[in-house]
Structure 1
Amino acid sequence: MTDRGPEPTDDSRTSDDAEAPDDSALYVFAVCCSPATGVLAGLQGVAGGGPLRQMPFGELTAVVQTVRAADFTDEVWQARMSDRAELEEYARAHHQVVSAAAASCPTVPLPLATLYHDEERARQALVAETPRFRTALERTTGRSEWGVKVYAAVLPAAAADAAPRSAAVPAERSRPAPGAGLAYLERKRGLQVEREQRYEESLRLAESVDAAFHGVAAAGRRLRLHGPELAEDGRVQVLNATYLVEEDRITELDRLTRALRDTTGARIEVTGPWVPYSFVGEV
């Protein structure tokens, strides 16, 4: 297990000073301004860990949990990363704690499995990162994250897209009629042109939607597009973005989404509000 904090530290454990399996580590979920008392009540945190608690450092507070170091060695964590069900369980537990803290006060979520060998090392590392935390808090306070996905219309399969099938006809009529091959190629070419035009139109639509959301957002990020295999109906995703929006502009965001759907006919999916994970690392 190594210290996996916001920034690399020089006190990471090596294989020569491996800890015993029952040694503990400190898991840090988030950094907050002033979380309310009892905000963590009823939350378990990650499996096998101790009670969730608040750890003050300077004028800020970290939400932490003591865990078994043996559960977070590099080898164990790499194996966990390949187990989707187990990884989702940890991610869900992490998100629940971060969300509870964020509901109480301005919060900077830390990455999944941010760990330190002990409380003193954690406190030193977090104090050193205080300027970055303050900048992130100033940027995200009073704002939430919203995801926006735009999908292109799928061109229906056309008969012209399939090769002409030979019919059961007499031998003397088994050959295609003159010009049949050329007509088939022209249909194929026309279908390809139509697909390309639709895709280009969808890309232009995505740009206009992105610009419109930037008009109401304090910041935005374009994310990697998902492949069509992730959509049940094979739709093509042309925009995958996330936006940081002021709380008092959420109604405006909703009106904009409905207006864009009505005027463009596009499939636009909006999710949120989320804790602004995507906007705390850009400071």
Structure 2
Amino acid sequence: MTAPGPAPRKHTATYVFAVCGHVDHSTLATLPGLGENSPVRPMPFGSLTAVVQHVEAAHFSEDAWRERLSDHQELERCARAHHDVISAAAMRGPTVPLPLATLYRSDERARQALRQDTERFHNALRRIEGRVEWGVKVYTPTTPPPTATPPPTGPGRGRPSSGDGRAYLDRKRGIQKRREQHHDEALRTAETVDMAMRTVAAASRRLRTHAQEPLEPGRTQVLNAAYLVDEKRIDDVAHTVMGLRRSTGADIEMSGPWVPYSFVGEV
């Protein structure tokens, strides 16, 4: 009886999490990454290093990835694993995150592609060195506060008088005017917060505001922005946001510090 040959090796692809100047094996060795039974590891290319992991290619085919996108829990798991690896590398120095599901057929294909962007990576690393990203979101009430409605004039019953009609139109115009004023005030608040945050930031980006949350119908997002801030100015960020909350009365949410995702593609 012939002895069985070695089991066929599964076809793998090289998943790239990030690019940095240098990161050692020990920083990455304990990370599960995407849980593909392959270590997360540094892969040098030229003067830079990519953080990579071998993954089973079939798990990241176009059809497989489309299926993952439709599974909220699975997509969240992948995104969290991707972020955890990038964060670990960023603890050791400036790191350029790559988009979720950046894959190549082999390490050599990955090196070839990444080398073409060497200058962009160096520029991005210089830009974010010693800096972190802070997110700021500003919310205002969805509708203006109600005003007292004057009692109707004219007879209480019967055909409405011309005075009643004019009063009705005046009330409608008043409501519309209050809405416009409320909208203008919300925009001014957003500009005030953004301008103040720019004084403590090295760079900023206005992001698309989110649609009104179904569970929070009473407030509307008027600013969604990211700020690239020197690490030594973290206290300035907190003090600025606290002062803006007092001066504007707006609902301001601050998050961070993050790896500068929003500022690595602008060089």
What is the SS of the residue equivalent to 1:239? strand
Aligned residue number for residue 208 of structure 2: 224
Rate the CA distance shift 1:74–1:157 in 2: closer, same or farther, 3 A: farther
Q: How does 1:197-236 map to 2 (within 5 A)?
A: 197-229=181-213, 232-236=216-220
Q: Find the aligned partners of 1:202 and 1:54 in 2 and give their Cα distance.
A: 47
**Structure 1 length-normalised TM:** 0.83
Verify: 1:57 aligned to 2:40, yes or no. no
- Please state how far the C-alpha of 1:157 moved relative to its aligned partner: 5.5
Match of residue 258, structure 1, among 229, 242, 249? 242
Q: Find the aligned partners of 1:58 and 1:181 in 2 and give their Cα distance.
A: 78
Contact residue 40 and residue 51 of structure 2 kept, 8 A: yes
Residues 55-109 of structure 1: per-residue CA shift (max 9 Å, x gap): 1112211111100100111122122222222111111110010011101221111
Q: How does 1:131-280 map to 2 (within 5 A)?
A: 131-154=119-142, 155-156=144-145, 175=158, 177-178=160-161, 179-229=163-213, 232-280=216-264
**Runs of 5+ consecutive residues of structure 2 not aligned to the other structure:** 1-7
Q: Find the aligned partners of 2:226 and 2:146 in 1 and give their Cα distance.
A: 32
**Runs of 5+ consecutive residues of structure 1 not aligned to the other structure:** 1-19, 165-172
What is the SS of the residue equivalent to 1:113? coil
Instruction: Name the aligned partner's letter for residue 77 of structure 1.
Output: W
Match of residue 81, structure 1, among 65, 69, 73? 69
Q: Find the aligned partners of 2:184 and 2:9 in 1 and give their Cα distance.
A: 57
Contact residue 134 and residue 256 of structure 2 kept, 8 A: yes
What is the SS of the residue equivalent to 2:26? coil
Provide the identity percentage.
Answer: 57
Contact residue 15 and residue 101 of structure 2 kept, 8 A: yes
What is the SS of the residue equivalent to 1:226? coil
Rate the CA distance shift 1:102–1:202 in 2: closer, same or farther, 3 A: same
- Please state how far the C-alpha of 1:238 moved relative to its aligned partner: 1.0
**Structure 2 length-normalised TM:** 0.88
Rate the CA distance shift 1:37–1:21 in 2: closer, same or farther, 3 A: closer
Q: Find the aligned partners of 1:227 and 1:157 in 2 and give their Cα distance.
A: 23
Root-mean-square deviation (Å): 2.3
- State how many pairs are aligned: 254
